[in-house]
Each structure stands twice: as C-alpha cells, then as structure tokens.
Amino acid sequence: MATTIHILNGPNLNLLGQREPGIYGAESLEDIQKTCDTVSGKLGVSIEFRQSNHEGELVDWIQQADQASAGIIINAGAFTHTSIALHDAIRAGSVPVIELHLSNTHAREDFRHKSYISPVAQGVIMGFGGYGYQLAIRAMCTLLESTDSL
C-alpha cells in the first residue's frame, strides 16, 4: 500500500510533555511523531505530520491533504469544540478522517463534550494518550484496506 496519511495537530500540542502532563502525558509531540514514523513504516505507509496553533492553517492543510493523501488523522485540540471551519473543510473533502484526542474529553469539562469534528469523521479515538496515534494509524490502514477491497 503506497499511501500517505496526514496527521494534523492543533493548538498547544507543541507543548506536549510540558503542559499538564497529568492529563496529556509526558511525551513530547516530537516523541509521538518518531513513534508514528516507526509504526507507519512497519505498516508500509508514509505520514505527513504537522502541528499549528492557527485555525486557518489547519483548514489549508485539510484541503491540501484531501488532494494529496489517502486519509487524515486530526487532533484538533481545542478547535475540536469551537471550529465550524474545520468541520466544513473536512465535510468538503473526500478522504476518510479519524478524530484523535490524547485524553478522554467526555471525562473532562462540559465544554469539551461537544465536537464539531465527530459528525464528519469516520471514527474517534480518545483517552489512550500518545498510544492513540498508533491506534489511529492502524485504524486508518484498516479503513483504507477495506475501501480498496470494495
């Protein structure tokens, strides 16, 4: 499977390992990316791993990924709960999207219970810390394989 998966990360994820490690874990985003590179290599896919604190940049990347990749994994951070723009960009696309969160957002503050991404995603992975990225890559590969076999 010669496939590229875009992994897009939203605001404050550049602070992983420093910001509230009791919630988000001790791994840095760079640590997670290295693990993603290893896992994707073993699965025979390539990844494009990006992070931005800017909503518009994430919208641009979603649109680009829709043209250049087989699927998108997105940890939109706080934009999950506020961004109709991200929702619309994903909805306009044609590739599968998996929503990802390090923490279980349903076990946190009420405002984190609403996601604008979930209604336009094929699935949601949350609450597994950095390991969730590995699960998301594997899930995306399974999605892509099942789509290829149709």
Active site members:
24, 101
Phi, psi of 30 (to 5 degrees): -65, -40
Q: With helix as H, strand as E and coil as C, how does 67-117 read? A: HHCCEEEEECHHHHHCCHHHHHHHHHCCCCEEEEECCCHHHCCHHHHCCCC
